[in-house]
Structure 1
Amino acid sequence: MALKVAELLLQLEEISRSRPDRVLRLRGSLPVADGLEPFELLIFRGFSSSVSHPTGFDPDQPLLPEAARIEQTELLQGPLNPQAEQCLSSASGAQAFLEPAAWL
């Protein structure tokens, strides 16, 4: 059974707390009135941060709606250095990173 997006993000954030040397980047699409819009989300040290869309002030609200589609996931060396990113692993779905061993 597939996890809901909010639960998936919570589990990934939990795993990331124990891996301060890793950043998980999620890319995909969000439904909008006239189609789909791309998004990018980073998970680092237990927190999710959208780099493509504004976020609300309530940390209890998920950053992605349930209709979001995660199409690409990359595990990066952290802390992130945009001028010299190091991709350690990638997958088509975020569920591949629900196993803590996938963060090694």
Structure 2
Amino acid sequence: MLWASGVEFPFYPPPGLLILAGGAAFVGLVKRAWAPGVGAFLGLFVIAGFVLSSVVSGAGIGYLTGDAGAGGVIGTVTQLAGVAVALVAGSIAVGRERRAGR
């Protein structure tokens, strides 16, 4: 959404798109008990990147306050909600697999 809203990225395609698409493909295709942990890690990675970009340059918070327009706000909120769900769901899935002894 940020890219579609006109936010400039250092290269094409935007890195978050590649990272999250690759992680989703991995979690969906690999049949290992720990695979959901990759989704949880990527969720944590994106949240940490958002916090870091907010602290260093103010960009993360700027996207939430409308610096990139309405599309940037919608995209940022959607992405943060999605990666938060991935973090929680992936952590729960790995924990259940560990308790089940698989």
TM-score, normalised by the number of residues in structure 2? 0.31
Greater relative CO, 1 or 2 (CA 8 Å, sep 6+): 2
More strand by share: 1
Which of 1 and 2 has greater Rg?
A: 2
